[in-house]
Chains A and B, each alone.
Chain A
């Protein structure tokens, strides 16, 4: 693919690679369009999102947009502006729009087929597989890093609606730390009802912007005002600041959020009260009086 684009691209510091992670959770979009006063549906959301993708591509000729869908049972690539250019020669706005829509339709149908059956039994709104989508995004960004000395500045934009899936915690955190290590900021825009603790941490740790828009009708304006600017220009803008990030942990035993707790020294599992034995790694804590002695010894020295 690299050989098919012979003229060397001049990547200045305002060329961006934007990987957009799109929540296609049908449970969430269904409840949102039923409950919210503004009657905000997935198609309305796309009416805001697709013009945003187009405006990103128009901002700079070399800008590169990749869309990844996070469904309930699968994740997949929806749109890649680099391959789209190669196939039809030029990117026209209607072409981008129709490609995204047709691929999305395909994806949602496949996602639904995969999830047929047992998903119905789970009550309430299911979480989307953001850990998988984030992992895909990071793999893609690594490929761009490998492509040469000069590459566009990557960033990830998460458009999440459904609530966090607690079972994805470890995987999401792994992805966040990997993004932090490769200096990829994760921006997040939460469309749903409640704040997302995962995305708050993701944006805080990686230096991205976290935003929960008040008015979903003005989503396109939020997108263009906050998330369209490249990383270089961000330093000149007054972007939303984090109000406060919840760094409290939730204990493994009751999933309660605690601000003080007990941590197993072997596997770092968190418990809200002392146990005789670690439920994760099976370590025995019968010699726990040692700690008291240690603490005393330490304090007497200070």
Chain B
């Protein structure tokens, strides 16, 4: 499993499916199905029911979905080197390129590729800022053979989404080269410590370029821009080539939910490539929040506002939102929670060990075993595979639901946090 490369997500997914040989046949079929087939599959809902020991009907696939999540997460962790000093590109400058050519009006995705892409882009932008609070995103659309910059690199999700939702039409051809050239120009101005990235959501099967696209790819490579593509139709060689050359990842979606999944894989910060961004100390200000009821003129909207707002510690200008750059002195203004939001990428919770129900446990049934996190009793869930997991450090037991919550949202092990000895942050803080 570890031999599989991180950039070939599609193969890895298939590989993961193949590993779960014990899974039911229809589970495999569902993965392989085309978008149009799913409509019929959804109606065969009787097949996804299962009787448990008390005669209640339960959906069959909850356990396997949990498994899939868990497995995928383990894979992701396993592919990264298990060092505590892993460097991540936490300050990202990403251009989201959206293909709104004629191909985006196809309706193999419901209601159309464009609708799916725009909806996915909205979720992605929100998730991106949630995970990378100090990063910037910009939007570029390709249509009628040209690339057009919709928004400048910015730090607030709402303005980006608003601009995106205003452009709900598609026409003409797509040109990868024009898009890359445009993005190259804009990303050239980004500070050297930032990680330059392009994420292309590509619906077309071809690219209609004015000149040699290979030169543009070389240029991207030289400018250290990491290009990734999520395709909606079929795998295209040129996209694969771009991603391989620039260190990005190329994935092709099977259906709507898979598309969303692939898109959101780009939200957490990628492992930093040392030569791609120079490490640097950035001077930042931590403004105080103004007390309620104080009237001040903000420098961003040039309006008098009552209460709220933050004051730049260097020039005392008032700004409305953080993080931002001071309009007057150019100081990067953040609040300490913004920085703290990224720390979990650097100090992740180690994956828990799967504990299968052993015959030994039957003798211990008298002592009620409960999940340390949520107090749910463990055992007799009726499944034949993993029942619960245990943390390698504190040896506490957790149910599968808590396991997923702990690793995907909480980023703390409640067991380790409830102990004085094995505090993992002591060394770092």
Contacts and interface: CB of A to CB of B under 8 A. Distances in A.
Interface of A: 1, 3, 72-77, 80, 114-115, 119, 129, 131-133, 135-136, 138-140, 142-143, 146, 166-171, 173-178, 181-182, 201, 205, 241-250, 252, 258-268, 270-271, 274-275, 278, 280-285, 287-288, 290-291, 294-295, 297-299, 301
Contact of A265 (B282, B374, B420, B426): B282
Interface on chain A toward B: helix, strand, loop, or mixed SS?
mixed
B340 to A, nearest CB: 4
9 contacts: A142-B405, A244-B291, A262-B281, A262-B282, A262-B284, A263-B339, A264-B281, A278-B279, A284-B279
B287 interface: yes
Give 3 nearest A-B pairs by CB, closest first. Answer: A139-B373, A132-B418, A283-B279
A210 to B, nearest CB: 13
A74 B419 contact: yes
B130 interface: yes
B114 interface: no
B402 interface: yes
B288 A267 contact: no
A282 B340 contact: no
A171 B193 contact: no
B327 to A, nearest CB: 9
Contacts of A138: 405, 410
Contact of B284 (A171, A243, A252, A261): A261
Nearest to A173: B340
Contacts of B280: 264-265, 285, 287-288, 290-291
Interface in B288-336: 288-292, 310, 313-314, 330-331, 334-336
* Most chain A C-beta atoms within 10 Å of own C-beta, residue among B340, B347, B415, B419: B340
A139 B409 contact: no
A131 B416 CA distance: 10
Residue picked from B284, B377, B417, most chain A C-beta under 10 Å: B417
Contacts of A266: 87-88, 90, 272, 279
Contacts of B419: 73-74, 129, 132
Interface in B4-24: none
B337 A295 contact: no
Interface in B391-429: 401-402, 405-406, 409-420, 423, 425-426, 428-429
Contacts of B423: 167
Contacts of A205: 337
Contact of B281 (A166, A246, A274): A274
Given A142-B401, A143-B374, A285-B280, A178 B410 contact: yes
A252 B429 CA distance: 7
A76 B420 CA distance: 14
B429 A167 contact: yes
B412 A131 contact: yes
Nearest to B285: A260
B283 interface: yes
A247 B87 contact: no
B384 interface: no
B54 interface: yes
A23 B292 CA distance: 31
Give the residue among A73, A140, A271, A284 with the most B Cβ atoms within 10 A.
Answer: A140
A30 B98 CA distance: 62
B189 interface: yes
B376 interface: yes
B57 interface: no
Given A288-B281, A290-B193, 14 more contacts: A131-B417, A132-B418, A173-B343, A174-B410, A177-B340, A178-B410, A244-B291, A248-B288, A261-B283, A263-B282, A264-B279, A265-B193, A265-B280, A268-B343
Nearest to A204: B289
Given A169-B429, A298-B191, A291 B282 contact: yes
Contacts of A174: 340, 343-344, 410-412
A115 B420 contact: yes
Contacts of B192: 287, 290-291, 294
B192 to A, nearest CB: 5
A249 B406 contact: no
Contacts of A244: 288-291
Interface string B79-119: 00000010110110000000000000000000000000000
Contacts of B342: 268
Contact of A139 (B194, B310, B406): B406
Contacts of A298: 189, 191, 330
B376 A143 contact: yes
A247 to B, nearest CB: 4
Nearest to B86: A281
A247 B337 contact: yes
A285 B43 CA distance: 59
B77 interface: no
B229 to A, nearest CB: 26
B58 interface: no
A280 B90 CA distance: 15
Contacts of A297: 189
B414 A132 contact: yes
Nearest to B84: A281
B278 interface: yes
B129 interface: no
Given A129-B417, A178-B409, A248-B288, A139 B281 contact: no
Contacts of A271: 281
Contact of B288 (A175, A259, A294): A259
B337 A129 contact: no
A135 B412 contact: yes
A139 B406 CA distance: 8
